[in-house]
Amino acid sequence: MHGLAFFLFLIIVALTLVITYFASKRTRTTSEFYTADSSLTGWQNGLAIAGDYMSAASFLGIAGMIALAGFDGFFYSIGFLVAYLVVLYIVAEPLRNLGKYTMADMIAARFSDKKVRGVAALNTIAISIFYMIAQLVGAGGLIKLLLGIDYIYSVLIVGILMTVYVVFGGMMATSWVQIVKAVLLMVGTFIISIIVFAKFDFSLTKMFNEVKTATPLGEAFLNPGNKFKDPLDTISLNLALILGTAGLPHILIRFFTVKDAPTARKSVVHATWIIGIFYVLTIFLGFGAAAFVGYDKIVAANPAGNMAAPLLAEALGGDFLFAFISAVAFATILAVVAGLVLSAASAFAHDFYSHILRRGEATEREQMVAARWASVGVSVLSILLALFAQKMNVAFLVSLAFAVAASANLPIIVLTIFWRRFNTTGAIAGMLVGLFSALLLVFFSPNVWAPEPGVAILVGEPLFKLANPGIVSIPLGFIAAIVGTLLSSKKADSKKFDEILVKANTGIKELAN
């Protein structure tokens, strides 16, 4: 057990619990629980978005992926960054203007049918749990490496902490944990990157030349095709990454924490700058791990490469830097899983319980109780699923969540805002087909099935050959929404669409007759 790392872990946990304690005093109403009463400024929400987005997949998974697979690992950095252009220009302002607490609120602003809200909430819960599995896998591997605690107990520790943040502190605690984590992560990543660059005499040419001989891949390290042999798989991955962010529930609910659409736009701009700098620095993390840790040591610590960044910190700065970076990685996971729990709990309590089961008649207290119990339920389910995904790369697991988000949520968001003829049948069809096609294709993919024992979860020949389903499931989501609308006998409400169009672009809540 690393004593210094354990001490820094305790400091991180203590800091986040103090934040939760003070936030709990300001979390009395549903608005405060779900959205921090829309009180965050643009730069605060920008930092929180960055903290929410730069997950274990970014810090642990991408560094390991670049170290082991070279150029192909950097696809994740590119996709995650470019995705924010879609968020900025298509989603952020309409979502803030039309919604209140959840993505389903935005859809319900146009379609009052409870089935639409219910399916939208189902998508939110499914995507949030999928994403959370990746974070818990990263947490389990990290704590096991540092403290020698068994993977199962490591996942339980994180699960309990994330539940505490949400149950007691709501969005206020979650946001400030994410802000603190974003600052720590940027500081830690910048320190490692500078040290790595200094080792190469601050020469990009020297760095690129040296990594050509640092791994078993040789010169192929800098070429595409080491991990993604099929060009379709590469396209599918990038489609999921670029389009998926605009459908991720834990990112979408962040736009409700600010007072208006212009502030939401500002927060996306702040977040994009922070995220952009971070993803550029992942090159130094991956190349540094390949050169100064080595392929064999990275794989020995974790076959998927998830421990590359902490091992690089140890190689460059000894026990202290190792402990600091590991504690930062731990904070990263805590912040992201708290946001995921909150998004799933909000969908259940606000959409399922309050609007569908109680028909909008639930009291403030009843909604708060439902949200807190939902948080516990989501945490328990995610922990159980994470126990079966221990050997999978966390960046890859997250890319699958992106594919589901892009397939099930994005088509409905876009068509709700821009297509006059779109109706409830199309909305339900698009969400269900997008969700289940992505999940089914993942289940039959090489991630779940492999001929050799130990390579995937199950032994057998995969029926779907691509590792990421995005190239198939995303078009299916759009096609199902369009076909469902065209074949339906229900007429779209043109007056309602005009109202939505004005609200989405101006933020005006009540229109004159």
Q: What confidence score (pLDDT) does residue 191 get?
A: 92
Residue 475 inside a domain? The answer is no
pLDDT for the residue 194: 94
Report residue 152: phi and psi, to 5°: -60, -45
Whether 125 is in a domain gets the answer yes
- In DSSP terms, which residues pair with 449 in a beta bridge? 458
Angle at 49 between CA 46 and CA 55, to 5 degrees: 140
In total, the chain counts a number of residues equal to 513
Q: Is residue 267 part of a domain?
A: yes
Domain count, the chain: 1
Give the DSSP per-residue string, 132-147. HHHHHHHHHHHHHHHH
**Residue 428 is assigned to a structural domain of this protein:** no
The pTM is what?
0.85
Q: Which residues of 26-56 are buried (b: 16+ CB within 10 A; e: fewer)?
A: ebeebbbbbbbbbbbebbbbbbbbbbbbbbb
Sort 375 into a burial class: Cβ within 10 Å, 0-12 / 13-18 / 19+.
Answer: buried
- Rounded (10°) angle between helices 231-244 and 394-408: 70
Q: What is the pLDDT of residue 509?
A: 63
Tally Cβ neighbours within 10 Å of residue 506. Answer: 12
In CATH, what number is assigned to the domain containing residue 55? 1.20.1730.10
Q: Which helix (H) or strand (E) holds 376?
A: helix 364-386
Provide the 3-class DSSP secondary structure of residue 449.
strand
Q: Flag residues of the chain having pLDDT under 50.
A: 512-513
Backbone phi, psi, residue 193, to 5°: -60, -40
Q: How distant, in Å, are the alpha carbons of 215, 284, 489 from that of 299?
A: 12, 19, 57
Q: For residues 194 and 334, give the distance between their C-alpha atoms in angstroms, rounded to a whole number.
A: 26
Query: What pLDDT does 513 receive?
Result: 47
Residue 78 resides in a domain: yes
Is 348 part of a structural domain of the chain?
A: yes
pLDDT on residue 503: 83
208 part of a folded domain: yes
186 part of a folded domain: yes
**Residue 260 CA to its chain's centroid (Å):** 23
The number of CA neighbours under 13 Å toward the Cβ of 285 is 33
- Please check whether residue 214 is in contact with residue 70, taking contact to mean a CB–CB distance below 8 angstroms: no
Residue 275 near residue 50, CB atoms below 8 Å: yes
What are φ and ψ of residue 417, in 5° steps? -80, -40
Name the residue range of residue 381's domain: 3-24+40-393
Tokens of 228: 């993604």
Six-digit token string for 58: 């970014």
pLDDT of residue 391: 63
Local structure of 185: helix, strand or coil: helix
Show the tokens assigned to 197.
């660059």
